[in-house]
A and B are shown apart, each in its own frame.
Chain A
Amino acid sequence: MTGGFLESWLGGAVLTSTPIFYAALGETIVEKAGLINLGVEGTMLVGASVSFAVASSTGSVAAGLLGGMVAGGLFNLLLGPLVIGWRANQLASGLALMFFGMGLSAFYGKPFVGSSLDGLRSFPVPWLSSLPFIGSILFKQDLLVYLMIPAAAGVWYLLSRTAWGLHLRAVGEDRLVAYAAGSRTGLLRHQALFLGGILAGVAGAHLSLAIAHTWTEGLTAGRGFIAVSLVIFAAWSPLRILPGALLFGGTLALQIQLQARGAQVSPFLLDMLPYLVTLVVLVLLRNSSRGRMPEGLKEVFESPREGK
């Protein structure tokens, strides 16, 4: 019995962590450019509702996913003129974006509330999925789960090993120096927002197409904010996001598993675990993460403290 519990818990942890992972991966790109988008929650909601709407109207999950990605990318770009062009406060602008995403997804998603879809089905890897224990946890998942490691590696390569990534990081460290060195800082930051939005769109799509198989208002329930925290937790490294996402996904999945088994723990106390764990971990890891924060973010984050 305990073996079965562990197996379904860990399998659930991998699945639950996937949307948080993609959203945090996208936010990493944005933050490496010296911006913070607190509105990931809204971008995820837009991605989730659009992908569900497209998938259920066309019958194609691939089209739904693509729709969610495009919608997420475009939606994130809305932040560009605000915080890059007009230098509006980034935290407030991000929250405005969240409101906007909540409203838009509720408005456009209304006709789809209550309908359900097969959505993104699991795709067992031949042979590997029949392995005991590990097979069902790791190899009976959907394609987006399998793509997590390649995606993390891809973003790492893009940021650390390409000229574009170098320019982007330079913008995030010191905008003026990068500008003086000839970088097109505004364009680079918009590109970062677009890429980050695409990944947040994937996150939303996975949530509605592969986990919930349905659309409801406010489907993300704070996962976007957990993703923002996760970027800090991972100290702005794309490679550290996966373990972090698994930790948060694990707490979420634990709560679902315990509830399903009728454990004698208050569901409300379990429900608050992911948020509390996030908070505690951020406090514990503060020193290792702070040193790696892109310099450009410090002016957003630390205004009443001694900045530079």
Chain B
Amino acid sequence: MAEAQKGWWLGWGASSVSLALSLVSALVLFSVLLVTNGKNPLDTYASIFGSTLGNGFGFSEIFVKMIPILFTAIAVALPARLGLVNVGGEGQLQLGALVAAAAALAAGTGTPSWVGIPITLVAGMVGGALWALVPAILRAKGWLNETISTLLLNYVAIRVVDYFVFGPLRDPSTSNVPQTTKFADGFLWPAFAGRIHLGIVFALVALVLFAVVINRTRWGYEIRAAGSNPLAARRHGLPVTAYVLLVLCAGGAIAGLAGTGEIMAIQGRLRPGFSPSYGYLGFLVAWLAGHRPLRILIMGFLVALIATGGDSLQIDQGLPSSTVSILMALILFMVLADAWRPDRLQDRIQAWLSAKKRGSA
């Protein structure tokens, strides 16, 4: 028992050290790039970290960005446990927002919050799930790989939203700005502590549900089994096809909540370009986290921090805000490459510990 406990501790320790080393090496590589371009990396990092960790408002903004990122990361991680690559978080987010907006506009102004907020939740999930349904069916039938279809549908989704915002859902009173009318108060998600809003509760609930379902239920067990050995799973009679439909649509529904939160708490109305690629950031987080719930929380915070800091780069340093996607890609390279493998680190730590024990004895 004590050995097992220690093993668990060592495993977590080694993977934390490994993650830290990946981060540091990515930061070093990014510095090299900045230096060769005549930028002082210390200024850049001061700008990224100072603007976020250095003041109360910046710190709260990390959590504001973290909300949609957590949703879209779960939307990637759940299908990934079955071996599916859902790159459609952005499209599912857009459609979730669209359906939630349509529902809120249709339901009328007198709706109280205890009715209005559940309506937005359901509508957002339905929108996201429906957008994921097409790739899910195509995949379940074995007609088309979900990676390609979800990617292509992202481009379609953005234009579907544009079509409605410029057309049927457009607020006639603001003739030059394409946007919907403001949603009635009953549908808005309340904010507390700056712009941090109710979505953070929903996102954490979704994360806990994901953790419980995947680790503690028969469904989760079967999904993981089918993900690691599909052939054996089929031979054992697991309904793999049904799981394909289930996890992709559930993922879509959760991504839909990311879009719902953005328009119901941050924007107050639907307008084009309301999401700065949260879907792709969620994808990044899910892969950085190895699709594990607790790590999604940690990596979600980190990526939200870098993304928030990226916005200030433009102001402080005159760098395009997408510069930070270089840094994020470098971190992902390091993690994907397993450049600092936890198992090897664990061996080293163990060797070092036993050497120390021998030395002291």
Contacts and interface: CB of A to CB of B under 8 A. Distances in A.
Contacts of B330: 100
A305 B142 contact: yes
A interface residue count range (under 10 / 10 to 19 / 20 to 34 / 35 or more)? 35 or more
B126 interface: no
A106 B318 CA distance: 12
A107 B323 contact: yes
B148 A228 contact: yes
A62 interface: no
Given A89-B336, A91-B85, A97-B329, A304 B280 contact: no
Given A99-B329, A100-B333, A225-B152, A269 B159 contact: yes
Nearest to A277: B152
A102 interface: yes
A82 B336 contact: yes
Contacts of B337: 81-82, 85-86, 88
Interface string A265-308: 01011011001101100110010000000000000011111110
B326 A307 contact: no
A304 B153 contact: no
Contacts of A85: 337
B324 A229 contact: no
A107 to B, nearest CB: 5
Interface stretch (B106-114, B116-124, B225-233, B349-357): B225-233
A103 interface: yes
B84 interface: yes
B30 to A, nearest CB: 10
Interface in B315-331: 319-320, 322-330
A156 B67 CA distance: 49
Given A104-B326, A110-B319, A304-B83, A272 B148 contact: no
Nearest to B147: A91
A237 B311 CA distance: 44
Contact of B227 (A86, A100, A304): A304
Nearest to B310: A103
Contact of B230 (A283, A301, A303): A303
Given A268-B160, A304-B82, A93 B144 contact: no
Nearest to B84: A304
A92 interface: yes
A96 interface: yes
Contacts of B326: 99-100, 103-104, 107
Interface residues of B, number: 54
Residue from A38, A88, A103 with most neighbouring chain B CB atoms (10 Å): A103
B305 interface: no
Residue from B85, B142, B284, B327 with most neighbouring chain A CB atoms (10 Å): B85
B240 interface: yes
A286 B322 contact: no
Contacts of B250: none
A222 interface: yes
Contact of B152 (A103, A275, A301): A275
B163 interface: yes
Contact of B325 (A100, A222, A268): A100
Given A110-B319, A225-B152, A275-B152, A304 B333 contact: no
Nearest to B145: A301
Interface string A73-90: 000001001100110110
Nearest to B227: A304
B329 A100 contact: yes
B338 interface: yes
B168 to A, nearest CB: 11
Given A303-B230, A306-B231, A306-B234, A106 B322 contact: yes
A106 B162 CA distance: 25
B353 to A, nearest CB: 28
Interface in B110-161: 138, 142-145, 147-149, 151-153, 155-156, 159-160
Contact of B85 (A81, A92, A275): A92
A283 B143 CA distance: 6
Contact of B338 (A86, A110, A225): A86
B319 A268 contact: no
A94 B354 CA distance: 41
A93 B85 CA distance: 12
Contacts of B297: none
A272 B159 contact: yes
A228 B145 CA distance: 12
Contacts of B149: 279, 282
Contact of B336 (A92, A225, A271): A92
A269 B163 contact: yes
Contacts of A303: 83, 227, 230
A278 B231 contact: no
Nearest to B330: A100
Given A91-B147, A307-B231, A99 B320 contact: no
Residue from B167, B280, B326 with most neighbouring chain A CB atoms (10 Å): B326
A301 B147 CA distance: 9
A306 B233 CA distance: 10
A217 interface: yes
15 contacts: A86-B339, A88-B336, A92-B85, A96-B287, A99-B328, A100-B329, A107-B33, A107-B322, A269-B159, A275-B155, A276-B156, A279-B144, A282-B144, A282-B148, A302-B145
3 smallest CB-CB distances across A and B, nearest first, come from A103-B326, A100-B329, A103-B325
